Amino acid sequence: MNARSFRRRTRAATAMAAATLIALTGCGPAEDPPAPATEAAEQEEPAAEGTHDDAGGDAGDDDPAADGSEDVNRTSDDGAQGSAEPRALVFVHLIEPERLIDQDGEKRLPSADLAEIAQNLGGVAEEPPPGADPASCENDLRYVASADVRCTVTAVFDGTEREETLYAHPLAAPGGAHGILYTVDEPLTEDARWATFNGDNEATAIGMGGAYGMEPIPADRLVADMQTVIDFDFRHDPIDTTQWTYTVQDCPSALDFEQLAPVRCTATHDETGAEHIAWALPGTFYGQEPGLIVSVETVPVAG
């Protein structure tokens, strides 16, 4: 029995009882979260494995500002600098492979599909107002580092018509699936963009219970909680974690849920012993319970 199998057996009951799967599912921000004791939420079909743009440099280069060429991928809104405000709200969605297109050697999600997904995320609003376009997105979502797209959803909330602003960011899930990470009101910070998608990483998350993150998560507990996310059994979901055989070794600091900022940790591959960068990010999921986002660099740290 390898280390991962042992961990999964000893943690399975805890993971299923205390952690409701919320990452990369089709459940929307206004839905009630599934009961913690149930099986993981039903997923949509995964995307076919595609080619991501190389972010440049090795996995140990975590300087997101090293290449200014990525500026072209970002929203044109000069006032949107990225959210570090308290309790940034996020939600995620796995996309069907047939929605993706190949353009100039990269995967993209057309803006019309992006808008449709934003509108139909399980009840973002009660209904669109008569004659209004319920959702729109400014551009296609490119699956390259630092990309984002601003979307707006116009609808009736509690009897009042208003417009919500969402920012869509690319995600790669274990096993080659493509996803979207939406943030409400503000895009991700540059550090969070790099940690969630830089062309050499994969990410997923699980819910950790309603009181999780009310206080900063200490570094030693963060190591254990990240391991729970990595070892989570996605047997009923199109997320292939068979190659996610990592053991989290160390985190330098606590994870503060008051801002959507990553903590860079280290992990080792159970089979090769190679060191990898693993990122932890808080997930105050829109309409759901608090959770933990974990992203692992698939390329080992250069020796």
Pairing type for strands 160-172 and 89-94 reads unpaired
Instruction: Give the per-residue pLDDT at 133.
Output: 66
Instruction: Give the per-residue pLDDT at 197.
Output: 95
For 149, the token pair is 């797209």
For 155, the token pair is 């609808």
H helices of 83-187, in order, are: 111-119
Reported as a single tens digit per residue, the pLDDT across 128-174 is 556 666 789 999 999 999 999 999 987 666 667 778 888 999 999 98
Instruction: Give the per-residue pLDDT at 206.
Output: 85
Instruction: Give the per-residue pLDDT at 205.
Output: 84
**E-state strands within the chain:** 89-94, 101-103, 106-109, 135-137, 141-142, 149-157, 160-172, 178-184, 201-207, 246-250, 263-269, 275-285, 290-297
Residues 6 or more apart whose Cβ sits within 8 Å of residue 225: 208, 217, 280, 292
Tens of pLDDT, residue by residue, the chain (303 residues): 554 543 443 333 333 222 333 333 333 333 333 333 333 333 333 333 333 333 333 444 444 434 444 444 554 443 444 444 445 567 778 888 899 999 999 999 999 999 988 877 644 445 555 666 678 999 999 999 999 999 998 766 666 777 888 899 999 998 888 999 988 888 999 999 999 999 999 998 888 888 899 999 999 999 999 999 999 887 666 678 888 899 999 999 999 998 889 999 999 999 999 999 999 999 877 666 788 999 999 999 987
Q: Are 187 and 79 in contact (CB under 8 A)?
A: no
> In whole angstroms, what is the distance from residue 225 CA to residue 229 CA?
7
> In whole angstroms, what is the distance from residue 298 CA to residue 200 CA?
6
Domains of the chain by residue range: 3-60+85-297
- Return the half-sphere exposure (C-beta side, CA atoms, 13 A cut-off) of residue 136: 5
Instruction: Give the per-residue pLDDT at 286.
Output: 60
219-231 vs 3-18: helix crossing angle, rounded to 10: 100
Instruction: Give the per-residue pLDDT at 272.
Output: 95
